Structure 1
Amino acid sequence: MSYQVPKFRHPELPRNELGYTRADYEGSVSTLCAGCGHDSISGSIVRACHELSLEPHKIAKLSGIGCSSKSPTYFLGKSHGFNSVHGRMPSVVTGAAMANRDLLYLGVSGDGDTASIGMGQFTHAIRRNLNMVYIVMNNGCYGLTKGQDSATADEGSASKKGDPNPFGAIDLPGLALQLGATFVARSFSGDKEQLVPLIKAAMTHRGFALIDVVSPCVTFNNNTASTKSYEFVREHAAATGTVDFVPMREEITTSYPPGQSQEVTMHDGSVLHLHKVSEELDPFDRSSALLALERYRSSGQILTGLIYMDKDSRDLHEVLETSRRPLNTLVEEDLCPGDKVLQNINASLR
């Protein structure tokens, strides 16, 4: 059986500003279960990168261990990639980002990889405001080891086995907000119209950007008793509002009805256009976002969309005042400027 995508494509596929078609951002044929939400997320990443006209060789995709961490094989086949140790993906991203700040770092993880063995790594990546996009493919179970409940499974939710989960869930967006994350969103793998603009906004955000994506496991956790099933999420999802991402080269147009709308200019000059459904959430106020998450959780609903964003975020490189040039481009003359410079440094410390 071949896992390679056929090279033949329709000659008139739409091309972006770089001349790439969407096929240029694809990877190998997926070996995940048919209908897995993770494949839909992979498709959203492909679409976002194509529409942003990103150069594939300037993207680094990294993952840990699990069904979710297999998925980078299925998108961005011409990008840099590294499949790390279980739960240790953030450390690898940190090292890579410090060596080459010019790449766009896309970390893909699962609810087990993030909320259990990798929890410490996850929290410190947030605390340092590492400049990366962190996508959690959240299905509430361990799909590679027969569907045991993960730390994000809701209390009372039951997997295919049928036993209700006796423990409370770790809410990753809520935790990220408390730890100081500068971009927090949640979406659903079955809602690409919401997910794609969120991915595009996260990729242009400066700092740590978390997108927690509910992604049903069709083999072990897609039944009526599960809160991570397609049926449950579609019936209980509530959106913060409509999000449009407008590249800086395009004219900004809107078709929203009268209401509370706001445009946010991102660091690269692109624009995020928000149309809020409710006055209850201010996506630029951390306390408001935390209250909204708790309000919807207590009512049995899943709050999706952009939950919080810091418009003035300072990433790790800015905090540490690192070299503007990637460290992997520095030569001996840069690293060893000579005896005279060293003498001046020593004199300044006396």
Structure 2
Amino acid sequence: MSYQLPTFRHPELPVNELGYTRADYEGAISTLCAGCGHDSISGAIVRACHELSLEPHRIAKLSGIGCSSKAPTYFLGKSHGFNSVHGRMPSVVSGAAMANRDLLYLGVSGDGDTASIGMGQFAHAIRRNLNMVYIVMNNGCYGLTKGQDSATADEGSASKKGDANPFSAIDLPGLALQLGASFVARSFSGDKGQLVPLIKAAISHRGFALIDVVSPCVTFNNNAASTKSYDFVREHAEATGTVDFIPMREEITASYAAGHAHEVTLHDGSVLHLEKLSEDLDPFDRVSALVALEQYRARGQILTGLIYMNKDSRDLHDVLETSRRPLNSLREEDLCPGNKVLVNINASLR
């Protein structure tokens, strides 16, 4: 069976500042299971990129292996793409980002791809503050290989086959905070009102931006005993507050009651509004974020929204003081300045 997108589009679809419709940011028709949360995340990415008026050719989407890593096929069909091997997406992004800092890097991974085989690469991408958006489509199971529990499955949670997981879960936002991530958020695939502005803020942030998205697997992990089912997340999710993202080019007209909101100007001049934050959380304090995660976990709740952000983040290029020009644009004379320059460099190291 072949799958093709219809070529017809309504002639009056709304366009962004570049003249693109949302359809211009779509990809191939999804072959994931009907109702899969991953497709909702793909839709949120499409909407965020369209509303930000991003040029598709300036976006590079990369992934590993798994249901989540198939998802980039279904969005941003006119962008650069690379499907790597299991757990190795961060190192591929690192090499690409060092060669061409002008692209926007969007990494898509899964709970198995990140929290098991890719854990080492995930950790080092964070500690280096690689300038990328890292989205985890987290369903707590291996959907491509019959639904075995993954490392993010909660202790006591049961998948479709009914066996309770005996092991404690790896909490990716908590781990990212401990490793020094400069932007940490969690959301739910069924809550685009929260997820879309979080994606926009992550794109505008300079440094490593993690969004852990609970994304129910409708085939193997959407039953009553699962803590990553649609019903469980809807009943137990607790948001840090309302997130509103305003691009730099738009006039800021919103107003908020004193003491109930934070307004943060991001690196590109965009503004992030955080309204009615949780009493238990200061999103600009790493320790406060860690404590809040643990408190909500102990109560059996899932904390969503913006959990932590370093407003003064310095990414890997800033730390290494790399060339402002992408390496792929440097000429031979730029890379080989001559013997005299090399002699002076060697002399300075003695």
1:65-114 residue CA offsets vs partner (Å, 9 max, x unmatched): 00000000000000000000000000100000011011000000000000
Q: Residue 286 of structure 2 corresponds to which residue in structure 1? A: 286
Q: For 2:230, give the aligned amino acid.
A: Y
- The 5-angstrom pairing of residues 289-300 of structure 1 reads 289-300=289-300
Q: For 1:76, give the aligned amino acid.
A: L
Q: Residue 150 of structure 1 corresponds to which residue in structure 2? A: 150
Q: For 1:136, give the aligned amino acid.
A: V
Q: Residue 260 of structure 1 corresponds to which residue in structure 2? A: 260
Q: Residue 118 of structure 2 corresponds to which residue in structure 1? A: 118
Q: For 1:305, give the aligned amino acid.
A: G
Distance across 2 between alignment mates of 1:150 and 1:201: 28
1:211 aligns with 2:235: no
Distance across 1 between alignment mates of 2:85 and 2:185: 26
- The 5-angstrom pairing of residues 306-317 of structure 1 reads 306-317=306-317
Please report how far the alpha carbon of residue 346 of structure 1 lies from its aligned counterpart in structure 2 after TM superposition: 3.5
Please report how far the alpha carbon of residue 280 of structure 1 lies from its aligned counterpart in structure 2 after TM superposition: 1.6
Give the 4+ runs in structure 1 shifted more than 4 A. 255-259
RMSD, aligned α-carbons? 1.1
Distance across 1 between alignment mates of 2:301 and 2:237: 6
Structure 2 residues without counterparts, runs of 5 or longer: none
Does 7-16 or 331-340 show the bigger shift?
331-340
Please report how far the alpha carbon of residue 7 of structure 1 lies from its aligned counterpart in structure 2 after TM superposition: 1.9
SS in 2 for 1:108: strand
Q: Residue 305 of structure 1 corresponds to which residue in structure 2? A: 305
Alignment: residue pair count: 350
1:153-180 residue CA offsets vs partner (Å, 9 max, x unmatched): 0001000001111110000000000000
Q: Residue 74 of structure 1 corresponds to which residue in structure 2? A: 74
Please report how far the alpha carbon of residue 255 of structure 1 lies from its aligned counterpart in structure 2 after TM superposition: 5.5
- The 5-angstrom pairing of residues 172-187 of structure 1 reads 172-187=172-187
Q: For 1:158, give the aligned amino acid.
A: A
TM-score by length of 1: 0.98
Q: For 1:152, give the aligned amino acid.
A: T
Q: Residue 188 of structure 2 corresponds to which residue in structure 1? A: 188
1:228 aligns with 2:236: no
* Equivalent pair of 1:259/1:275 in contact (CA under 8 Å): no
TM-score by length of 2: 0.98
Q: Residue 127 of structure 2 corresponds to which residue in structure 1? A: 127
SS in 1 for 2:314: coil
Distance across 2 between alignment mates of 1:349 and 1:80: 40
1:332 aligns with 2:297: no
SS in 1 for 2:120: helix
Please report how far the alpha carbon of residue 189 of structure 1 lies from its aligned counterpart in structure 2 after TM superposition: 0.1
SS in 2 for 1:109: strand
Distance across 1 between alignment mates of 2:52 and 2:305: 20
Please report how far the alpha carbon of residue 241 of structure 1 lies from its aligned counterpart in structure 2 after TM superposition: 0.3
Does 244-253 or 258-267 show the bigger shift?
258-267
SS in 1 for 2:261: strand
Percent identity (aligned): 88
Q: For 1:228, give the aligned amino acid.
A: K
Q: For 1:241, give the aligned amino acid.
A: G
Q: Residue 197 of structure 2 corresponds to which residue in structure 1? A: 197
Distance across 2 between alignment mates of 1:133 and 1:41: 14
Distance across 1 between alignment mates of 2:100 and 2:51: 24
Q: Residue 37 of structure 2 corresponds to which residue in structure 1? A: 37
SS in 1 for 2:304: strand
Please report how far the alpha carbon of residue 260 of structure 1 lies from its aligned counterpart in structure 2 after TM superposition: 1.5
Distance across 2 between alignment mates of 1:259 and 1:24: 41
Distance across 2 between alignment mates of 1:124 and 1:106: 17
